[in-house]
Amino acid sequence: RWEDCLSPGVHGPFFPRILRRRKGKREFGKTITHIVAKVMTTEMIKDLSSDTLLQQHDDLDLALDNCYSGDTVIIFPGEYQAANLALLTDDIIIKGVGKREEIMITSEPSRDSFVVSKAHNVKLTHLSLIQQGTVDGIVVVESGHMTLENCILKCEGTGVCVLTGAALTITDSEITGAQGAGVELYPGSIAILERNEIHHCNNLRTSDSSKSTLGGVNMKVLPAPKLKMTNNHIYSNKGYGVSILQPTEQFFIVAEEALNKRAASGDKKDDKMLFKVMQNLNLEMNNNKIEANVKGDIRIVTS
């Protein structure tokens, strides 16, 4: 069944996670840069322009709670938790300063969700997301567009989920440890993946063959999502590097040529089938390295 191929999660793909309303911009139109630190020093703000409006907060949750669209949150090395990351509705930038490995945001095990957005345009950059106990995706884009840039995503449950009608851009990031696929695209979603490493995903202990195929990137194709992948390294996943889920073999789901030099494992019939599907799917892949995935590199999976 189609629903049997969904990654594990407490919510279905159409269950609204965020009920909070969007605040929009402040009345006086100004934007604020929020500094998350116990004590703010001049060193922390030396690279900011002199007319920057600043607000200092003891913790990340307070900073997010005070954000309006257009604001920036700056986080310095340390370990943080923030329930408000699961309630992103305004267009903000959350930016780490320092080594991304040292800016650690961990989920709260008692909560279902970690990072969830329905903002028109939200960006997370230069930080690490560490999933602990939450069963929903480490990042869920419910609607709007999210950008993840130069981030580390250490999954414990489901990986990144892009729901129907939502869009995601991931660049220069690393995704590892997901129980299902590292990136899961629901029908009608859009994703651009560039220069990422997606590895050691599909750590599910299951005999269900529909779930065992999931690995690096999984696409559900009715209607077809749009995916552009460039210069990514997808490796050592227990399923396939890229799996394309379609409801029947007769439904052919756009790549401009072969996905890479070792596009698909299997016989010539499988290769021909894959090429036909690729011609009709809004999928563009260039210069990706897909290797050492247990099931194979790229595969069409029928439900």
Each residue's pLDDT tens digit, 109-120: 888 889 999 999
Is 40 part of any domain? no
- Looking at residue 206, its pLDDT comes to 56
Distance, in Å, from the CA atom of 236 to the CA atom of 293, rounded to the nearest integer, reads 5
pLDDT tier for residue 4 given thresholds of 50, 70 and 90: very low
Higher pLDDT: 297 or 175? It is 175
Higher pLDDT: 69 or 204? It is 69
Q: Indicate the average pLDDT of the chain.
A: 82
- Per the listing, tokens 């309006």 go with 68
pLDDT tier for residue 239 given thresholds of 50, 70 and 90: confident
Higher pLDDT: 225 or 87? It is 87
- Looking at residue 301, its pLDDT comes to 75
Is 43 part of any domain? no
Is 180 part of any domain? yes
- Looking at residue 204, its pLDDT comes to 67
Is 36 part of any domain? no
Is 33 part of any domain? no
Residue 110 token pair: 């008692």
Identify whether the C-beta of residue 229 lies closer than 8 Å to the C-beta of residue 193. yes
The number of domains in the chain is 1
Is 9 part of any domain? no
Distance, in Å, from the CA atom of 9 to the CA atom of 176, rounded to the nearest integer, reads 17
pLDDT at 3 over 90: no
Is 44 part of any domain? no
User: 38: phi > 0 → left, psi -120 to 50 → alpha, else beta; which?
Assistant: alpha
pLDDT at 127 over 60: yes
Domain containing 168 equals: 84-256+267-302
Q: pTM of the predicted model, to two decimals?
A: 0.84
pLDDT at 100 over 60: yes
Is 8 part of any domain? no
Residue 49 token pair: 């322009």
Average pLDDT value for residue range 43-66: 93
Average pLDDT value for residue range 249-268: 39
- Looking at residue 60, its pLDDT comes to 96
- Looking at residue 213, its pLDDT comes to 67
pLDDT tier for residue 284 given thresholds of 50, 70 and 90: confident
